[in-house]
Structure 1
Amino acid sequence: MGVYHAGSRAVQDQAGVRVRADHVGRSLGQDIKPIAAAFLELQPLLIVGGPDPGTGSVWAHAVTGTPGFVRATGPRRISVDAAHVFARGTTVGTIALDPRTRRRMRLNGRLTPTATGFAVDADQVFSNCPKYIQRRESYEAVDRTPGTPRRLTELGAEEAEFIRAADTFFLATVHGAGADASHRGGNPGFVRVASPRELTWPDYSGNAMFLSLGNLYADPRAGLLFLDWETGSTLQLTGEARTESAEDGTRTVRFTLTEALWTPDALPLRWSAPEYSPANPEPAR
């Protein structure tokens, strides 16, 4: 089908879902449909993930703006009025997630700087089901001055507690010809801090495409973004991840930290309290 690379195919075959993946893969295209364009223009937040051209490390970044700052400017292009965080020509993955409606849209492609920010020309455009998205009924734009970013090589008590309390994070991964940004959600505690440099989380049943795990199968580099939906603080992590499969068919992802960036009050948005997704499993004790 040309939709999946060898890494995704390998994980699909391990899980025995190739036929289902082929069916779901028909939803991937290059064109931004009118309903997707309208969805984008309502969003105040976009996640962008990809490799740093200088170091090769993979990062996930949050960019924000007044709704309309992300918009479709062609059948296969989005334009973003925000400072670009990657170099010209970088392959990136983007995800726009709306907690109010529990909808999300992903667009993967190549970044080009523009006069007002950056554009991404699409290789893949698709939406996902609302599974594991926590509903937040509303948000407000607030006037915040971001704190000084702090770089870390391991997690301290504050960062570990921040992760344990999280119900959502974003995952950036790469493969030989592209990048992807995806959402991971669950009840607080679904991400475990195994040590100051290691996290684990369960891979919950999803759409069977295995784009993220397929990327990790081919290239272990990964970037994680945790955000505080009330204070706007962000914790970005870069490192490597691998998937561990158990005899019962369940999968766990183990992430090893190389570097982290903690930024207090980074985002000028405050969201309402979550209503947890009914699909969320209870975290294992």
Structure 2
Amino acid sequence: MDLPIWPHAGLPFHTGELAAQERAGKRERLAAVANRVIRGEMPEQHRTFFAQLPFLLVGAVGADGLPWATVLAGKPGFAHTPDARHLRIDALPMPGDPAQSALARGARIGLLGIELHTRRRNRMNGIVVERDEAGLTVEVEQSFGNCPRYIQLRDLSFAEPATAAAAWQGDALDDQAAAWLRGADTLFIATSHTTSEAEGAHTGGVDVSHRGGKPGFIRVDDDGTLTFPDFNGNNYFNTIGNLLANPRAGLVVPDFADGSLLHVGGRAEVVWDGAELTSFAGAERLVRLHVERVVRRPGVLPLRWQLREYSPVLEDTGAWPAP
């Protein structure tokens, strides 16, 4: 059966993504395949994949202009597809989630479905066309797969959420947040851009993506900034391209052992070269985040994970030098 293709005129990339592809020497190769690998609807295998997931990563832009990444969870089947152009999500953000008001009708959002126990992941970006008391309906604008590199294998179990505790909020990292980040091996990053009239209405909006590394791959400096590597990936440059167009980002870092979430938002910059980059084996770029907001949400997910093994690809990456 033939897979769907990109149904619109032009490439499915905006000017920021194209600029990042050009700088990395990948633009010509991507132009030759983009209309076949990025689609305007979900292929059947993606529809089946989303329906078997117990959680989704979601990115959306809040009223403060910050993109926020968050997690929506439910029993498998809570995300399902009435047709190839729509994804229904029977879940909403809980109180204290910084993305709660961002997931409104008409909002552009990014979605990532990921299975940590198989390293499968697929992406979908679109528009919220309905929000009701039970959840969201998202109309597809972009649907595409991702490679399994840098994903740590984790086995999943279900649990009752911990007794609700108030979310902690601040405008800088406290000691607990800094320690959490220094020990992490996985983060998810939400970024966004504003589509120009010349680019048309189908080149994106918001994206949420996975980043993985050896524990300690997120460096927390004394000034409270975060720095982490951008390893070789699919070369679409969705995240990096968005940051070139709009240098704001939101991270969510799960505590896989107890279902807690740490959200960090701020202004980002891309480090393309220099001694700092070359000191980290395997990194092609670095992302530095100047923290503006922090939200810590204890025990909010009804999910727990146990580490099985780190990605074997990480053997070719280094460790952070001392700041």
TM-score tier, shorter chain, comes to: over 0.9
For residues 263 and 120 of structure 1, the distance between their equivalents in structure 2, rounded to whole angstroms, comes to 26
> What are the Cα deviations for residues 44-67 of structure 1, in whole angstroms up to 9, with x where unaligned?
111111111x22221111111011
Indicate the residue corresponding to 2:5 in structure 1. Answer: none
CA distance in 1, matches of 2:244, 2:105: 26
Work out the CA distance in 2 between the residues paired with 1:167 and 1:42: 25
1:92 aligns with 2:114: no
**1:35 and 2:62 are equivalent in the alignment:** no
Tell me the residue number matched to 1:110: 127
Give the C-alpha shift of residue 23 in structure 1: 4.0
Q: What is the CA RMSD across the aligned residues, in angstroms?
A: 1.5
Which sections of structure 2, spanning at least 5 residues, go unmatched? 1-9, 94-99, 196-204
Please report how far the alpha carbon of residue 145 of structure 1 lies from its aligned counterpart in structure 2 after TM superposition.
Answer: 2.4
How big is the shift at 1:215?
0.4
**Match status 1:144 vs 2:162:** yes
* Secondary structure, counterpart of 1:215 in structure 2: helix
1:88–1:195 Cα change, 3 Å: farther
Residue 283 of structure 1 aligns with an amino acid whose one-letter code is A
Inter-partner Cα distance in structure 2 for 1:206 and 1:246: 17
**Alignment deviations for residues 1-30 of structure 1 (CA, whole Å, 9 cap, x no partner):** 421111011111111111232245231002
Structure 1 counterpart of 2:226 = 199
- With over 3 angstroms needed to count, the CA separation of the structure-2 counterparts of 1:255 and 1:123, relative to structure 1, is same
Residues 142 and 270, structure 1, Cα contact 8 Å, conserved in 2: no
> How far apart are residue 132 of structure 1 and its match?
0.4
For residues 176 and 251 of structure 1, the distance between their equivalents in structure 2, rounded to whole angstroms, comes to 23
Contact kept? 2:182, 2:215, Cα under 8 Å: yes
What is the CA deviation profile of residues 217-243 of structure 1, one whole-angstrom value per residue up to 9, with x for unaligned ones? 000111100001110111001111110
Indicate the residue corresponding to 2:249 in structure 1.
Answer: 222
Deviates more, 1:132-141 or 1:43-52: 132-141
With 93-102 and 248-257 compared, the bigger mean Cα shift is at 248-257
CA distance in 1, matches of 2:133, 2:297: 27
C-alpha distance in structure 2 between counterparts of 1:282 and 1:140, whole Å: 34
Deviation at 1:37, TM superposition (A): 1.1
TM-score normalized by structure 2?
0.84
Q: Which one of 129, 136, 139 corresponds to residue 147 of structure 2?
A: 129
One-letter identity of the residue aligned with 2:67: V
Structure 2: how far apart are the matches of 1:266 and 1:117? 17
Letter in 1 for 2:231: Y
Percent of counterpart pairs with the same letter?
Answer: 37
Q: SS in structure 1 opposite 2:31?
A: helix
The answer to whether 1:233 aligns with 2:260 is yes
Larger Rg: 2
Q: Please report how far the alpha carbon of residue 284 of structure 1 lies from its aligned counterpart in structure 2 after TM superposition.
A: 2.9
CA distance in 1, matches of 2:53, 2:222: 35
Query: Are residue 3 (structure 1) and residue 12 (structure 2) matched?
Result: yes
| 8 Å contact kept, 1:24–1:207 | no
| Alignment check: 8 A CA contact 1:167 1:186 kept | yes
- Contact map agreement 1:32 1:72 (CA 8 A) in 2: no
Supply the distance in 2 between the matched residues of 1:156 and 1:198 (Cα, whole angstroms). 12
Q: Deviations over 1:126-177 (max 9, x none)?
A: 1101000111133223342232101011111111110011111100000113
**Any conservation in 2 of the 1:241–1:253 contact (CA below 8 Å)?**
yes
TM-score, normalised by the number of residues in structure 1: 0.95
| Aligned counterparts of 2:224 and 2:192: Cα–Cα separation in 1 | 21
Report the Cα distance in structure 2 between the residues aligned to 1:153 and 1:213, rounded to whole angstroms: 24
Alignment partner of 1:170 is 2:197: no
SS of match in other structure, 2:288 = strand
Equivalent-residue separation in structure 2 for 1:220 and 1:251 (angstroms) = 15
Matched AA of 1:70: A
- Residue 283, structure 1, aligned to residue 310, structure 2: no
Structure 2 match to 1:187: 214
1:32 counterpart SS class: coil
Cα distance in 2 for residues equivalent to 1:172 and 1:23: 27
Paired residues of 1:220 and 1:240 also in contact (CA < 8 A):
yes
Structure 1 spans left out of the alignment, 5+ residues: none
